[in-house]
A = this chain, B = another copy of it.
Amino acid sequence: MAMNLKELSRSLGLSQTTVSRALNGYPEVAEATRQRVMQAAAVHNYRPNARAKGLATGRTMAVGHVIPVASQHEMVNPIFSDFIAGAGETYMRHGYDMVLSVVPDAREEAAYRELAMKGSVDGIIVHGPRAVDPRIALLQEIGLPFVVHGRASGAQTDYNWIDVNNRRAFQRATEFLLDLGHRRIALVNGLVSMDFAARRLRGYTDALTSRGVTPDPALIYSDEMTEAYGFGAAREVLALAQPATAFLVSSMIAALGIRRAIEEAGLRMGRDISVITYDDDLSYLRNGGEVPTFTATRSSVRQAGRLCADRLIDLVQNPGQPARRHLLEAELTVGASTGPAPAGVNRVVT
């Protein structure tokens, strides 16, 4: 069905060598010949067989993504769609394929090994690093180029990563709330086993303690970031004897749940209760409007996808580079969900 090099070259009366060279832009081919070859290739809709090419060159022109599915809740992180969209653009531009492995997080190690040994990819993007994550040591041992989206704090060695400054983002957000007079600030975080969540927690507690506020464990939540989780956490916090006056949330989706709980309690977000959320700038969940609905620390995960892909391709094409780290700053945009702490409640004891 598909035309191959042999047929193509025979139909042109040329050797496979020459045709191959012509198509791949080598100089030792007469310009006239090259034109003829190109033309014929276009006419026959010829595309070199990727596998054969890979075998011959040792390059697969493909990169792997291992998507872990949280075995607990069977949850797959919704930011992947956008990350993948960003990375995909880059791959397309460079002619790379993207191969995905969806794996229950328990079997993740095996998945990497598999990808590497089967030789089906030239490099790997690592998603969702844990605070201490065996994968990066594993990948270094395997010797396949890789880029981590995020960081693993516990790692001993250098490696390539691209991450948002989560600590700083949450520190600033907390300070912003403190400046508005809030003292009881709830943190509705992701799973703290995740590196990003651990850093956000750090930023939050740092900001609090440096202002003399002792973090209250009753206000700190940590779980998979679903709408229901946000709702449940907020409902609990609002029912406390000393409820929070503000929420710091790790994702837009959880924030929607929190807003729901706030309104269900007959309160109004932005007036009675303040909310700051982390915003991945997902395409289907834009925090838009002239005045954004949520005050948020934002960093586009799609852009992160692009950056990771760019870096990885660079790494594949120019091996042996020293590891490079790339820290993105999230921007804090003020929306309609924050306001001064209501007077009379949680007055600061001076």
- Say which residue of B98, B101, B263 sits within 8 Å of A92 (CB atoms): B101
B227 touches A51 (CB 8 A): no
- Say which residue of B82, B85, B103, B114 sits within 8 Å of A47 (CB atoms): B114
A102 touches B88 (CB 8 A): yes
Kindly specify which of A12-20, A69-77, A164-172, A311-319 makes contact with the partner chain. A69-77
A283 touches B75 (CB 8 A): yes
What does the 1/0 interface line of A1-17 toward B look like (CB < 8 Å)?
Answer: 11000000000000000
Interface range, A side: 35 or more
A228 to B286, CA, bound (A): 7
What does the 1/0 interface line of A217-259 toward B look like (CB < 8 Å)?
Answer: 0000000111110000000000000000000000001001001
A288 touches B228 (CB 8 A): yes
CB of A177 to closest CB in B, whole Å: 22
- Report the nearest B residue to A49, measured CB to CB: B119
Chain B residue numbers with a CB within 8 Å of A89 are 102
Chain B residue numbers with a CB within 8 Å of A119 are 2, 49-51
Q: A284 and B81 in contact (CB under 8 A), knowing A55-B55, A97-B99, A100-B100?
A: no
A154: Cβ under 8 A from any B Cβ: no
A98 to B85, CA, bound (A): 16
Q: A60 and B51 in contact (CB under 8 A), knowing A78-B282, A100-B100, A282-B78?
A: yes
Beta-carbon contacts under 8 Å, A276-321 to B? 282-286, 288-289, 293
B285 touches A226 (CB 8 A): yes
A85 to B219, CA, bound (A): 33
B45 touches A113 (CB 8 A): yes
A91 to B164, CA, bound (A): 32
- Report the nearest B residue to A44, measured CB to CB: B117
Residues of chain A at the chain B interface (Cβ within 8 Å): 1-2, 45-52, 54-55, 60, 62, 67, 69, 73-78, 80-82, 84-85, 87-89, 91-92, 97-103, 113-114, 116-120, 143, 224-228, 253, 256, 259-260, 263, 282-286, 288-289, 293
- 16 A-B Cβ contacts within 8 A? A47-B114, A47-B117, A51-B51, A51-B55, A51-B119, A69-B88, A76-B81, A76-B85, A77-B81, A78-B285, A80-B84, A89-B102, A98-B102, A100-B100, A226-B285, A227-B286
